[in-house]
Amino acid sequence: MRFKGLPHAIAGLAGALVLVLNMAFAPVPAAAADQLKLIGFGDSLMAGYGLEGGEGFPARLQAALNERGHDVEIIDAGVSGDTTSGGLARLDWSIPDDADGVILELGANDALRGVPPEQTRENLEAMITRLNQRGIPVLLAGMLAPPNMGADYETAFNGVYPHLASQHDLLLYPFFLDGVTGDEAMLLPDGMHPNANGINKMVEGILPVAEQFIDRIKAS
């Protein structure tokens, strides 16, 4: 008599198990499956130094792309003060395997510290190569050397980014701070980092290239 209800209990348990399995293997909603995850990998210019939450470059670029109909999430992987050597050292654990693409922005601190341009090039190339090996596309955000470093340094440094973009068939935004450098209305009081207006100017400039990057990712 005490086992009278056992078949019903087993049947109920089997039904619950089927429900759990159906939920576990249910198709991922289209919106989630189609969303692209981009990583903004860089220094203080990427990390939003001195800005409020939501004012940094990754957040503002994501908002601009979303407004234009692109389902994209941009994760901020910027570290203030980072050089290309520092970026290379943290690359593997900073970029998740499910990243659909990386906006690579490093080199400003190399130039400020007078790091030999050849070393900057080698570090950037090593990062690009590692990401390529992982199947993660790169949009390269270029930088220009400050003029006080001298003409020879300036020429060598400024040529690093176009050379790498050509060599590795990358989309290139030639100067990340285009339209911001030298304009007090676009800069924090330190005269180096962009304020919220500066970030918006940077986003406006890079937006067409970012859209090309998204198209390239989808096409691949």
> What are the residue ranges spanned by the domains of the chain?
34-219
Question: For position 220, what pLDDT does the model report?
Answer: 87
131's enclosing H/E stretch is: helix 117-133
Tell me the pLDDT tens digit for each residue of 131-153: 999 999 999 999 999 999 999 99
Q: Quote the pLDDT of residue 47.
A: 96
The predicted-structure confidence for 81-91, as pLDDT tens digits, reads as follows 999 999 999 99
Pairwise CA distance, residues 184 & 154, whole Å: 23
Integer angstrom CA distances of residue 13 from 5, 8, 19, 20: 12, 9, 10, 11
Closest CA to 141 of 115, 180, 113: 180
| pLDDT for position 33 | 60
Q: Note the pLDDT of residue 34.
A: 86
Which CATH class for the 34-219 domain?
A: alpha beta
Rg (CA), the chain: 23
pLDDT < 70: residue spans in the chain? 1-33
Tokens of 107: 């080199």
**Rounded-to-integer distance, Cα 44 and Cα 109, Å:** 9
How much is the pLDDT for 44? 97
**pTM of the entire predicted model:** 0.85
Residues designated catalytic: 44, 190, 193
CB contact at 8 A, 121 and 164: yes
